[in-house]
Structure 1
Amino acid sequence: MVVGEIAEGVDLLVVGAGPAGYAAALRGAQLGRDVTLVDRDGEAGVGGVCLRVGCIPSKALIEFADVLHRANALGRGGLAAGGVTADLAGFQRHKAGIVAGLTGGVRGLLRDAGVPLVGGTLRFTRPDQAVVETTAGQARFFEFQDVVLATGSRPVSLPSLPFDGITVLDSTGALALDALPSSVAVVGAGYIGVELGTALAKLGVPVTIVEQAEHLLPGVERALSRPVSRRLAELGVDLLTAATARAHADGVLTVERGGEQVAVKAEKVIVAVGRQPNTDQLGLDRLGVTAGSDGLLPVGPDRLVRRHVAAIGDITPGPALAHKGYAEAGVAVENLSGRRAAFQPAAIPAVVFSDPEIATVGLTAAEAAEQGIEVAMSSLPMAANGRAMTIGAQHGTVQLVTDRGSGVVLGVHLVGPHASELIAEATLALEMGATAEDLAETIHVHPSVSEHLEEAARATVGRPINSPSQRPTAAD
């Protein structure tokens, strides 16, 4: 021990106050552990990227933009809105209220659970000790029994387009805009880029999306992403695929495509090319832990990196999703507390809050076939759904993938309105080992978008009601 160093004893130390971290802290308190939570931003960091500058603010912006766009577009349906306009400064106040309410609620839960929060930057000094350089400029040493790492991730920057917070923005900067730019280029057509680009286009901003891959939403089946591509075109978004953003100056983004230079007008550039785990400045070597070349920490089903050390959330393999972090938190803390638990979900749902929304869980037909499973797939266009038509959102489809022999549901893939809500039923079906017959015989509300899943199941078992009889197709 360093002379003059006085270490505070901690039973369970949790590093990071995002969704995974605060969930771990609360579960630890429920199990009777003496928990200390550390976050580099202190009280202001509660909720992490998701609640403060990511998931929640982005969905608020998406809803704001969609309401405005729909109000102005429903003239053909008899709605005389009289030219609704956007006040982005007013939106920022509205968004701040939402964030304050949610993060304040989490702080209240931590307070009620008796979990103290320490603000500052943490580095490990040995396998059972860490030092926190507090926001007040002090050094506090903590000697812990167990530790949960939940430090999250940050946006990836591009050497050619470094973030300056003025003209070149990350997603956080884009969500903080208090005035509409005259033009925007979004670099990266993953889910973040598509969501931000769609919202800004609905607010009337000319948007260009630049993507290195051959199509938007790389990793998503083309059958699912095509409706989104078509909708972006309807909204006036220019999509440049197989293209690379090179530089930005004087309101112009230079893009290389097909060996040629393309000039894209862009007052603001939003770089959304991915996120990287926050594991590089923790002093993990002192903890006896080594991150992979991708910065991720290898964990088992118990979420332990080694004895007394767990890792959860964006710093572990798998999708960087808040709901995955929530689920991992309980597993990690229970194992550190002498209980047996395993993170072995049948599937983890994923959603793109695009227009239309994409929600997917389980195997695609192609993935199942690659595993040697003989599959059947029913695919029904959303245009056949009455509820979707009444809300003017009939773009999309429902795909149901089942094992041809047993009828067990292997995957559900939705493109359309409220897909983010409908995917919960599909995920439960996979977790429960439900069959197409189970879904077909479950009475769904009419009229609703959810009944389209029932109809897809009915088509699979050969008893459709509101769609033509069809023979479920096998994977190619």
Structure 2
Amino acid sequence: MSEQFDTDVLVVGGGPAGYVAAIRAAQYDLDVTLVEMDALGGTCLNRGCIPSKALISAANVAHNARTWSEMGITAEVDVDFQQMVEWKDDVVGNMNRSVEKLCKANRVSLVDGRATFEDEHTVRVERSDDNSERLTFEYAVLATGSRPIELPGFEFHRSGVHDAKEALQFDELPDSLVVVGAGYIGIELSMLFAKLGVDITVVEALDSMMPAFPSDLVAPVSSAASALGIETNYGELAAECRSTDRGVSVSTEDAESGERRAYEADGVLVAVGRTPVTETMDLYRIGLEPNEDGFVPTDRYGRTDVDHVFAVGDVAGEPMLAHAGSKEGEIAATEIAGRDPPSGDRAVPAVAFTSPQIATVGMTEAEAEETEHTVSTGEFPMRASGRALTTGHTDGFVRLVSSDDGVVLGGQIVGPEASELISEITLAVEKGLSTEELAEVIHPHPTLSEAIQESAANDQALAIHTLNR
């Protein structure tokens, strides 16, 4: 470490992007200080990915037990939601402590507080005990993440108005919820609570569910939502929220006609996206200004317009995904250490933990057709998968998109364990593998992964367990 600075690398924010950047930089023998104003692990570990998936898993157990009579299983299921939340909190607590141990084991110095820049190589850290200190650094990594977007009239401090974090901490299950937003977070949580017996009404300003995903992948999810009793209302803008004796009354406005509708419920869950957190750091003091979308612009290695300052994760822009942020943290740390960083142009999968799950990576067929490639596709329906049949979950399919020479350009999955299956297709896209190579790999039987092998074979008109197109 240079004697000129207190630390080689200052990381601001301890979420999946920040703590990974800190650990990787420390592994390269740099002196690293990580400043976190809340809890290590960030939104993902403490308020998002991990707690929501824990409760989704628990809700699926309860729902499956109630609905597997076809398998000869019938049960009266009693859900103790408070105990479920306590179990979820234990999972989060264990992971939080694990992150702390990993940081300390890798010699990362941890500082609890809020960091604000004083100049290009100095921050002031305001600690939770009202004390403060100055730290000087050679390099900085900004990893302050994002927060839920608030809608006017639906501010989260208001009684009965909740964001995802609060919904995952309910003291008891409400009888009913209005969910504003039919993106993947809104639909994941809608299905979670519907499986636990909550009456769910979804309002969405756009004209479809989960518009970030191809419509044919969303169709099985939409059908499953209807089967759960979820009412979905599209083309309706959330206009007003009033407190009532019951809880809230949410008024919407038709996007075309302006017609008003009102929905009564115990509470409203607002899930309309997230916005980057940049205002906490006084970036203007180092000459950095977020762009019109609120993100800090960077190059492919995470370097900002200030040469020794990097930004990674949600604060640096799309895709706002934990695993993308972690890889960006690794890349930035490797660049800072003067090593050869991996390319910043990576295949990044996206997953929705709905029922059924959706997962995508690379190009869709429509996107590939807009390039110079001659495009072909191979598909395999989950209803033809022996393993899917044995699980009782057969909705969905696997699709591979490839070029005229057979190289895999992308893939889409809707069905059981799509979140696990997409990694094989991500590897194929990342490494330029062909559908022929995927089809030649022996996949164990009976497994869901055979659907990828069959989809690859279908691209060559050589599938065995589905008709070739």
TM category (shorter chain) comes to over 0.9
Normalised to the residue count of structure 1, the TM-score between the two structures is 0.94
Structure 1 unaligned spans of 5+: 1-6, 471-476
Please state whether the residue corresponding to 1:377 is helix, strand or coil.
strand
How many percent of aligned residue pairs carry the same amino acid?
42
1:176 and 1:183 map into 2 onto residues whose CA distance is: 16
User: Which amino acid letter does the alignment assign opposite residue 209 of structure 2?
Assistant: L
Deviates further, 117-126 or 150-159: 117-126
Task: Report how far residue 178 of structure 1 moved.
Answer: 2.5
2:331 and 2:10 map into 1 onto residues whose CA distance is: 16
Aligned partner (choices 126, 133, 137) of residue 140 of structure 1: 133
Partner of 1:202: 195
Asked if 1:335 is matched to 2:335, the reply is yes
2:85 and 2:266 map into 1 onto residues whose CA distance is: 20
User: Which amino acid letter does the alignment assign opposite residue 225 of structure 1?
Assistant: V
Partner of 1:78: 72
1:8 and 1:179 map into 2 onto residues whose CA distance is: 50
2:468 and 2:329 map into 1 onto residues whose CA distance is: 45
1:84 and 1:208 map into 2 onto residues whose CA distance is: 24
1:243 and 1:380 map into 2 onto residues whose CA distance is: 36
**Is the CA contact (8 Å cut-off) linking 2:379 and 2:459 kept in structure 1?**
no
1:29 and 1:281 map into 2 onto residues whose CA distance is: 25
Give CA deviations for 1:174-221 in whole Å, capped at 9, x if unaligned. Answer: 111131101011101111101000100111111011111110101211
Partner of 1:360: 360
Partner of 2:392: 392
Task: Report how far residue 114 of structure 1 moved.
Answer: 2.1
1:165 and 1:141 map into 2 onto residues whose CA distance is: 37
Partner of 1:473: none
User: Which amino acid letter does the alignment assign opposite residue 284 of structure 1?
Assistant: L
Deviates further, 438-447 or 52-61: 438-447
Aligned runs of 1:286-297 on 2, under 5 Å? 286-297=285-296
Number of equivalences: 459
1:346 and 1:368 map into 2 onto residues whose CA distance is: 17
Give CA deviations for 1:305-346 in whole Å, capped at 9, x if unaligned. Answer: 132111100011221111111111121112112223244344
Partner of 1:18: 15
2:169 and 2:158 map into 1 onto residues whose CA distance is: 10
**Is the CA contact (8 Å cut-off) linking 1:21 and 1:329 kept in structure 2?**
yes
Task: Report how far residue 130 of structure 1 moved.
Answer: 0.9
Asked if 1:432 is matched to 2:415, the reply is no
1:186 and 1:64 map into 2 onto residues whose CA distance is: 21
Asked if 1:35 is matched to 2:35, the reply is no
Partner of 1:4: none
**Is the CA contact (8 Å cut-off) linking 1:165 and 1:173 kept in structure 2?**
no
Partner of 2:406: 407
Asked if 1:265 is matched to 2:243, the reply is no
Task: Report how far residue 159 of structure 1 moved.
Answer: 0.7
1:344 and 1:338 map into 2 onto residues whose CA distance is: 15
Task: Report how far residue 165 of structure 1 moved.
Answer: 6.2
1:156 and 1:177 map into 2 onto residues whose CA distance is: 20
**Is the CA contact (8 Å cut-off) linking 1:357 and 1:420 kept in structure 2?**
yes
Please state whether the residue corresponding to 1:116 is helix, strand or coil.
strand
**Is the CA contact (8 Å cut-off) linking 1:197 and 1:207 kept in structure 2?**
yes
1:165 and 1:180 map into 2 onto residues whose CA distance is: 19
Asked if 1:155 is matched to 2:148, the reply is yes
Over the aligned positions, Cα root-mean-square deviation in angstroms equals 1.4
Asked if 1:236 is matched to 2:229, the reply is yes
Partner of 1:220: 213
Partner of 2:61: 67
Task: Report how far residue 119 of structure 1 moved.
Answer: 1.4
Give CA deviations for 1:362-412 in whole Å, capped at 9, x if unaligned. Answer: 000100111232101123322121211221111111111111x20000111
**Is the CA contact (8 Å cut-off) linking 1:150 and 1:312 kept in structure 2?**
yes
**Is the CA contact (8 Å cut-off) linking 1:151 and 1:315 kept in structure 2?**
yes
Task: Report how far residue 265 of structure 1 moved.
Answer: 2.5
**Is the CA contact (8 Å cut-off) linking 1:92 and 1:176 kept in structure 2?**
yes
Give CA deviations for 1:397-432 in whole Å, capped at 9, x if unaligned. Answer: 1111111x2000011100000000000000001111
1:136 and 1:424 map into 2 onto residues whose CA distance is: 44
Give CA deviations for 1:273-308 in whole Å, capped at 9, x if unaligned. Answer: 010111123111112222111111111112111321
1:171 and 1:62 map into 2 onto residues whose CA distance is: 13
Give CA deviations for 1:89-119 in whole Å, capped at 9, x if unaligned. Answer: 0011101110111111111111222222111
**Is the CA contact (8 Å cut-off) linking 1:28 and 1:333 kept in structure 2?**
yes
**Is the CA contact (8 Å cut-off) linking 2:249 and 2:264 kept in structure 1?**
yes
User: Which amino acid letter does the alignment assign opposite residue 93 of structure 1?
Assistant: E
Aligned partner (choices 104, 122, 127) of residue 111 of structure 1: 104
User: Which amino acid letter does the alignment assign opposite residue 360 of structure 1?
Assistant: T
Aligned runs of 1:301-316 on 2, under 5 Å? 301-305=300-304, 306-316=306-316
Give CA deviations for 1:205-241 in whole Å, capped at 9, x if unaligned. Answer: 1101111111010121111111111110011100111
Task: Return closer, same or farther for 1:156/1:343 CA change in 2, 3 Å cut-off.
Answer: farther
Aligned partner (choices 28, 41, 45) of residue 47 of structure 1: 41
Partner of 1:474: none
1:313 and 1:346 map into 2 onto residues whose CA distance is: 14
Please state whether the residue corresponding to 1:372 is helix, strand or coil.
coil
1:239 and 1:28 map into 2 onto residues whose CA distance is: 47
User: Which amino acid letter does the alignment assign opposite residue 114 of structure 1?
Assistant: R
Please state whether the residue corresponding to 1:421 is helix, strand or coil.
helix
2:253 and 2:396 map into 1 onto residues whose CA distance is: 32
Asked if 1:374 is matched to 2:374, the reply is yes
**Is the CA contact (8 Å cut-off) linking 2:313 and 2:320 kept in structure 1?**
yes
1:380 and 1:218 map into 2 onto residues whose CA distance is: 23
2:129 and 2:417 map into 1 onto residues whose CA distance is: 45
User: Which amino acid letter does the alignment assign opposite residue 18 of structure 1?
Assistant: G
Asked if 1:247 is matched to 2:240, the reply is yes
**Is the CA contact (8 Å cut-off) linking 2:331 and 2:344 kept in structure 1?**
no
User: Which amino acid letter does the alignment assign opposite residue 65 of structure 2?
Assistant: A
Task: Report how far residue 244 of structure 1 moved.
Answer: 1.1
User: Which amino acid letter does the alignment assign opposite residue 452 of structure 2?
Assistant: L
Deviates further, 127-136 or 251-260: 251-260
Structure 2 unaligned spans of 5+: none
Give CA deviations for 1:127-173 in whole Å, capped at 9, x if unaligned. Answer: 11111111111121111111111110000000121112641000100
**Is the CA contact (8 Å cut-off) linking 2:21 and 2:330 kept in structure 1?**
yes
Partner of 1:3: none
Task: Report how far residue 8 of structure 1 moved.
Answer: 7.4
2:70 and 2:85 map into 1 onto residues whose CA distance is: 31
